[in-house]
Amino acid sequence: MSKKSISFVFSLLLCATAAFGQGKPQAIVERAIQAQGGEAKIAKLRMMRIKVEGTTDLIPGQPNFPITVEDIWQMPGRYKSTSSFQLMGNAVTQTQAIDGDTGWMQFNGQTQDLPKEALAEMKEQKYAEDLDRLSFLNEKVIELSPLEETKIDNKPAVGVFVKSKGHRDVKLYFDKSSGLLVKRQHNVLDPVSGKEVSQEVLFSDFQDKDGVKHYRKIAAYRGGKKLFEGKVTELEFFDKLEDKVFARP
């Protein structure tokens, strides 16, 4: 075999090895971290506030019902989510929060403890959402395996199956071209039936914020029906948050 032929074969092997490496779960995650700004930058995602204005189909007989959602978190263990909307001409505000091992909820100023089952479910959903911040995927308790390539918004995407003891499985999909996270899929408890149902969350329109590539559009579907769709209107990172932010009023 000539030197030229050997060189050609060797280059093919290098390409095949590179392609195989890109398909490995850990390589996919590392690429996503770099695509979003690098490990140091994405650390900002652990403590932040995000406000999204959009619509929901959860209100019977009122599709595309306007709603605003504001989330604040300090990972791990502290989360607060507030929904605001107008119902029959009246302003309605609803908040749910986790502060360590305790949780509370507030509806138009009336506060009470989160029931045990509701607290457990909110913690489970926040576990899945924490994976969006990527760095948690490097922890030893997390097991990663590959998923079949698919298409998200008509674009090729590679997937990672996330398994962790004590938690439901989560599927994460990353745009094959950009490396950015474009979909999270996992089961949640339906509040009406009490049964597990599949929930899909789609991320798009990534823009730079303080060196971090962050989505500006989000859409969530539960059991195939639209749960929420909206645009990010405010995004803020913090170095520190006061305890009172998550404490029960």
For residue 223, the 8-state DSSP code is: T
Q: What confidence score (pLDDT) does residue 145 get? A: 95
Q: Please name which of 78, 79, 75 lies closest in space to residue 43, comparing C-alpha atoms.
A: 75
Total domains in the chain come to 1
Q: Does residue 182 sit within a domain?
A: yes
Strand, coil or helix: what is 139? coil
DSSP state of 246: T
Q: Residue type for 187, please? A: N
Domain membership of residue 99 (yes or no) is yes
Residue 105 contacts residue 122 (beta carbons within 8 Å): no
Q: Pick out the chain residues at pLDDT < 70.
A: 1-23
Name residue 48's beta-bridge partners. 73, 237
Q: Which domain holds residue 196?
A: 25-245
DSSP line for 40-59: HHHGGGGEEEEEEEEEES-S
Contacts of 53 (CB under 8 A, 6+ apart): 66, 67, 68, 230, 231, 233
Place of tokens 């969350």: 201
| 17 falls within a domain | no
15 falls within a domain = no
pLDDT of residue 14: 36
Distance in angstroms (rounded) separating the CA atoms of residues 84 and 178:
34
pLDDT digits (tens, 9 = 90+) for 140-158: 789 999 999 999 999 999 9
Provide CB contacts within 8 A for 20, sequence distance 6+.
Answer: none
Spatial separation of the C-alpha atoms in residues 172 and 200, rounded to whole Å: 10
Enclosing H/E stretch for 39 = helix 39-42
With respect to residue 210, please indicate whether it lies within any of the assigned structural domains: yes
Q: Is residue 4 part of a domain?
A: no
**Cβ atoms of 215 and 192 closer than 8 Å:** no
Question: Is 208 within 8 Å of 186 (Cβ atoms)?
Answer: no
144 close to 174: Cβ distance less than 8 angstroms: no
**Surface-to-core class of residue 67, CB atoms within 10 Å of its CB (0-12 exposed, 13-18 middle, 19+ buried):** buried
* pLDDT for the residue 180: 97
State the chain's mean pLDDT as an integer: 89
pLDDT at 224: 87
**3-class SS at 156?**
strand
* Residue 19 counted as domain residue: no
Give the pLDDT score at 89.
Answer: 82
Q: Is residue 8 part of a domain?
A: no
pLDDT tens digit sequence for 204-237 = 999 999 999 999 999 999 998 899 999 999 999 9
Q: What CATH code is carried by the domain that includes residue 205?
A: 2.50.20
Output the pLDDT for position 23.
63
